[in-house]
Amino acid sequence: MEIDPRIEVAVVKVVDTQIESEDPPETALTYERLIRAGHTPAEAKNLIGCVVLAEVFNVLKSGAGYDHQRYVSALENLPRTPDTVI
């Protein structure tokens, strides 16, 4: 499925901001882990972006707030992407 380029740009900004600010720290740690595992920086950011999109989707679908533990768990499972990605 194609993602609207505007959404893609927004997700990349979120990922870059999380990595640079180390907030949450698990995003930067996941990025470093994926790089060490042989992924390119772009691949690592795209994988993390899948987790960002999945979390946004879960929040919109359920009406509940951001779930930090669910987000961290999805990061820990990378490179396997969340099942809830659109």
Which of 1-5, 23-27, 42-46, 54-58 is predicted with the least confidence, judged by mean pLDDT? 1-5
Cα→Cα distances 69→43, 52, 75, 77, Å: 23, 13, 10, 12
Whether 85 and 49 have beta carbons less than 8 Å apart is answered as: no
pLDDT at 83: 76
Q: Distance between CA atoms of 67 and 46, rounded to whole angstroms?
A: 20
More confident residue, 1 or 33: 33
| Residue 85, pLDDT above cutoff 70 | no
pLDDT at 82: 84
More confident residue, 82 or 26: 26
Q: Distance between CA atoms of 57 and 22, rounded to whole angstroms?
A: 23
Query: CB-based burial of residue 26 (10 Å sphere; 0-12 exposed, 13-18 middle, 19+ buried)?
Result: buried
Confidence category of residue 46, pLDDT binned at 50, 70, 90: very high
